Amino acid sequence: MKTGGRNVEQVMLKEQDQINMETFPRFGECTYLDSEVLEFPWGLPGFAHLRRFIVLQVPDQPGFIWLQSLEDLGTALPLTDPWALFDDYDPHLPQYAKIALSLEQPDDFVVLCVVVVSKEAQEMTVNLLAPVVINLKTRIGRQVMLESTDYSIRTPVPRTSALDDAAISR
């Protein structure tokens, strides 16, 4: 994620950040700062009532980033960088998403995709059709349905990927 270029107001805000501690069923005890909370004002498909999340990285699960709900501690979604799996991934975000998320420059946001892992990691798919887009400046996110594309919500993950190795080692 993008760092640097902070102004005095941002530094002051960080100094006043509240440190929070939470115990998540999947990850155990974690601490996070208020400034690390992501807001999803429109919710997420299937989780419309959940709006506040943090991102967790688990050392023994490289390639996965977990979007952990702060409102339902039992809800955590595995996400991945789609370009780590598909270097030709070329999402064109609809104009409504750019406006709703105040996206101005490519460095202002990140695009991640939800991963679905079957029991015992027999099959893994990634949702390339509806990526999760997060504005890194405002910390506002939204799952965005791409338009006029052949991407699928269940694209099989190549069996030789780092994601595959991480899921099997769990």
The arithmetic mean of pLDDT across residues 41-58, rounded, is 96
CA atoms within 13 A on the CB side of 141: 29
CA distance 69 to 47: 10
The arithmetic mean of pLDDT across residues 10-24, rounded, is 76
Q: Quick check: is 2 in a domain?
A: no
User: Which DSSP string corresponds to 68-102?
Assistant: EESSSTT-EEEEE-GGGT-TT------HHHHHHTT
Q: Quick check: is 147 in a domain?
A: yes
The CATH number covering residue 70 comes to 2.30.290.10
Neighbour tally for 52: CB within 10 Å? 13
pTM for the whole thing?
0.83
The predicted structure's pLDDT at residue 165: 55
Q: Quick check: is 49 in a domain?
A: yes
- Which residue range(s) make up the domain with 22? 8-168
Name, in order, each residue with C-beta under 8 angstroms of 139's C-beta and a sequence gap of 6 or more.
Answer: 35, 37, 38, 39
Q: Quick check: is 77 in a domain?
A: yes
The predicted structure's pLDDT at residue 118: 87
Neighbour tally for 44: CB within 10 Å? 21
Count of domains forming the chain = 1
For residue 88 the two structure tokens come to 């030709």
